[in-house]
Amino acid sequence: MPKPSTFVESAGAIEVIVSLGSDSMNKLKNLFHNRVDMADYMVLTGIFLGALYWALESLLNVFSPEEISFYQEIFGPNINVVWPRLIVFCLFLMFGSHVQFTINERKKALEALKESEEKYRTILESIEEGYYEVDFEGYFIFVNDSLSKILGVSKVDLRFMNFWDFMDDENAGRIYETFSECRRTGEPAKAFDCEFNIDGNIRYVEASASLLRDSKGVPTGYRGVLRDRTEKKKMEMDLLESYRKVHEARTATILGLAKLAEYRDEGTGTHLERIREYARILTVQLAMNPKFRGHIDQQYIDDIYQSSILHDIGKVGTPDALLLKPGELTEEEFEIIKRHTLMGGNALKAIESQIEGKSFLAMGREIAYNHHEKWDGSGYPRGLKGDAIPLSARIIALADVYDALTTKRFYKEAYSHDKARDMIFALKGKHFDPDMVNAFTAVAEKFNQVRKEKLKEAAEYSQRPARAVGR
């Protein structure tokens, strides 16, 4: 028999064994009682018939005209006397045989019952999972050795303890509802989690529960299986902690790389914060579009929020004279500026190659390469068109243009929110994906709110007095 691979399967298998063992014992008990009842009835009936026969025979002999000696009645009865005596003798023989058969059946039933109980207990004691039986009040009726080890309490002591003694009020209330539902419906409750507090030590347990019934099928309590998940839980918690640290490291790495470009180009200190907020708002709105439901999930939203700030990382390789030039760029100068997409994408690609597994920089690279591509194919660096442009890049393209329009740059003044919104709408199907523009139109006021808040923060920051630098 293949080993059960899950707790539900394992608990189900144990429940079946327990149920079969319990049912077998109940059947044996019922068989024994039925045999004894039948034997008592048949014996009493035989005694009654025998007594009736002798009374009738004696009565007939009183009125018999012939005088027959006692010797003749025993050894030489006539044919009329022989056959009724033979009938009675056979009846007594039959009833006696039946009684003996019943006694033998009783012995066999008791032996089988004892053997079944021994097998039943042996199975329960040999399994790794903890097995319990409790009454409706929660007091332990029976536990196996594994459960005693899980709880750290001897089997003898557990007989005087309550199931709820090991839980806090929150856990006890939740598990009590599970047990009550099991009692109400008669259906077993499988694979629910609970926490046992054992002298201040928390044991994380996966449990099942079903009704415990007596020989007549009347519910008397609960029985189930417990599997200790403490070590697994600790591993999961350690893994989550490791993931948290990696996530924090990722965030710090992305932010540090992005700041290299922002400090050289923007100087406001909030450009990246605005971009990531715009990206998050726009992506959440796009998720409501049936076209993107299979692509955009919470992980995608989190990734684009973190990776969006890498869009201009390539500007670290662009000369300051071009980044900070107040006037209009020449065609040659603009060609140099355009190289920041390739430099940023290649830099992130190089970093990716040194990271095992799926890199968190993948979306950042995708954005860095393609956020200046346009829906109609007139963008750079590769002139991608339509859906050939990665979705993340299409999202950041709109967010970046909105931020560029609504903030003051070295080469221009800031446009109002309304004007920027109208300009973006006019570029629908040209510069921008129509789905992006539709989503932006629905959340434009949220963009404006973020813009106002972040620009206010930048203004307040710029007014702080400079910190003195020590020698």
For residue 344, pLDDT over 80 is answered with yes
**117-121, 164-168, 269-273, range with the lowest pLDDT:** 117-121
What pLDDT does residue 319 have? Answer: 77
Residue-number span of the structural domain to which 203 is assigned: 127-228
pLDDT tens-digit map of 72-94: 554 555 566 666 667 776 776 67
Helix (H) or strand (E) holding 49: helix 7-62
Angle at alpha carbon of residue 20, lines to 14 and 25, rounded to 5° = 130
For residue 284, pLDDT over 70 is answered with yes
3-state helix, strand, coil in the chain (%, to 5): 65, 10, 25
Q: Is residue 406 part of a domain?
A: yes
Q: Which of 208, 228, 248 is the last residue of a domain?
A: 228
Q: State the CB neighbour count (10 A cutoff) for residue 421.
A: 21
Distance separating alpha carbons of residues 374 and 429, to the nearest angstrom: 9
**24-38, 233-247, 252-266, 335-349, range with the lowest pLDDT:** 24-38
CATH number for the domain including 434?
A: 1.10.3210.10
Q: If you ran DSSP here, which 8-state letter would residue 266 be given?
A: T
What pLDDT does residue 387 have? Answer: 95
Q: Is residue 170 part of a domain?
A: yes
Residue 295 near residue 348 (C-beta atoms within 8 A): no
What pLDDT does residue 150 have? Answer: 83
Is 404 found in the same domain as 308?
A: yes
Domain count, the chain: 3
Residue 365 near residue 352 (C-beta atoms within 8 A): yes
**45-49, 138-142, 336-340, 374-378, range with the lowest pLDDT:** 45-49
Q: Is residue 468 part of a domain?
A: no
Q: Is residue 389 part of a domain?
A: yes
What pLDDT does residue 445 have? Answer: 96
CA dist 110 → 113, 427, 454 (Å): 5, 91, 84
Q: Is it true that the peptide bond before 381 is cis, omega within 30 degrees of 0?
A: yes
Residues contacting residue 104 through CB under 8 Å, at least 6 positions apart: none
Q: Is residue 467 part of a domain?
A: no
Is 397 found in the same domain as 351?
A: yes
pLDDT tens-digit map of 309-332: 888 888 877 777 777 777 778 888
Q: Give me the chain's average pLDDT, please.
A: 77
For residue 384, pLDDT over 80 is answered with yes
Is 249 found in the same domain as 172?
A: no
For residue 161, pLDDT over 80 is answered with yes
Is 243 found in the same domain as 202?
A: no
CB burial of residue 455 (10 Å; 0-12, 13-18, 19+): middle
327: left (phi over 0), alpha (psi -120 to 50) or beta: beta
Q: Is residue 319 part of a domain?
A: yes
Match 């309550």 to its residue by tokens.
Answer: 162
pLDDT tens-digit map of 422-453: 999 999 999 999 999 999 999 999 999 999 99
Q: Is residue 469 part of a domain?
A: no
Is 120 found in the same domain as 36?
A: yes
Residue 194 near residue 233 (C-beta atoms within 8 A): no
Is 366 found in the same domain as 285?
A: yes
SS3 319: coil
251-273: average pLDDT: 64
Is 419 found in the same domain as 286?
A: yes
Is 395 found in the same domain as 246?
A: yes
CATH number for the domain including 190?
A: 3.30.450.20
Is 16 found in the same domain as 138?
A: no
Is 258 found in the same domain as 353?
A: yes
Residues contacting residue 105 through CB under 8 Å, at least 6 positions apart: 31, 32, 35
What pLDDT does residue 400 have? Answer: 93
What pLDDT does residue 467 have? Answer: 36
| Range picked from 103-117, 131-145, 456-470 for highest mean pLDDT | 131-145
Q: At what angle do helices 391-406 and 362-370 cross, to 10 degrees?
A: 60
Is 38 found in the same domain as 140?
A: no
Say what the pTM is: 0.51
Q: Is residue 65 part of a domain?
A: yes
Which of 67 and 369 is assigned the larger pLDDT? 369
